[in-house]
Amino acid sequence: MKTTVYKSLALIFYLISLSILLYCIKIRLTPFVYIKTNYRMILLIISCILIYLGGFILVKKLNYNKRIFKINLVVYFIIYTITICTLTLFDEIFGRQGINFIKWNDNLLNSYINTSFNIVPFKTIRLFTHGYQQGIVSFRNFSINIFGNFLAFMPYGIFLPLLFKSMNKYKNFLITMILIVLLIEILQFVTMSGSCDIDDLILNVLGASIVYFITKIKFINKFIRKILLYE
């Protein structure tokens, strides 16, 4: 009897989670239908919690193979990656105005390159810091561009080493992170949905690297693995 109840409960959690994910996808793809970014993030967090609970019941209560939690982690990784791509390429919270591919013969191309392409390290960071200190840049814009970029890729410091053994070597992790962020930066530039800025790359990779090294601390690594049932 208990087994049936637990199986049913796990199935309900997974089905509700799937329904939430499908709803979020539908909202994104339906024209003229809008839901605030904050609310959408809350829905995705709830969905991930339900996935976790479903896996926890299957593993802890029904003694299913612990690989279920690795599958769950893959799902989290995919959801987070899609969310990051959505926020950086489409979402208004970062000032995105939709996608318009660059026309290389456009008369405004030079102006666009000057304002949306930066390969000088710390130039943008200094501009935003100085602008905020002078009251020219709002706290919201300063936070999104500095702290937002620093925090955005932090979860990858957990995802990549757990999902891929090769990522437990920092050299491999660093190269992978640089390539991921660089790809997004180039896409932002080419689609005119944002800027291609080396400072974004620095902040994104720095945030992910800090979490990577924190998770290498023995008791923290053990704690994470215990929560995710990797032990």
Q: Is the pLDDT of residue 213 over 90?
A: yes
Cβ within 8 Å of residue 185, ≥6 positions away = 194, 195, 196, 197, 200, 201
Q: Which helix (H) or strand (E) holds 118?
A: strand 117-118
Q: What average pLDDT score do residues 166-186 get?
A: 94
Looking at residue 41, its pLDDT comes to: 82
For residue 157, give both structure tokens. 């410091």
Q: Please check whether residue 23 lies inside any domain of the structure.
A: no
Q: Please check whether residue 216 lies inside any domain of the structure.
A: yes
Q: Please check whether residue 27 lies inside any domain of the structure.
A: no
Q: Please check whether residue 121 lies inside any domain of the structure.
A: yes
Q: Please check whether residue 50 lies inside any domain of the structure.
A: no
Looking at residue 150, its pLDDT comes to: 92
Q: Please check whether residue 127 lies inside any domain of the structure.
A: yes
Residue 214 lies in domain:
101-227
User: How many domains does one find in the chain?
Assistant: 1
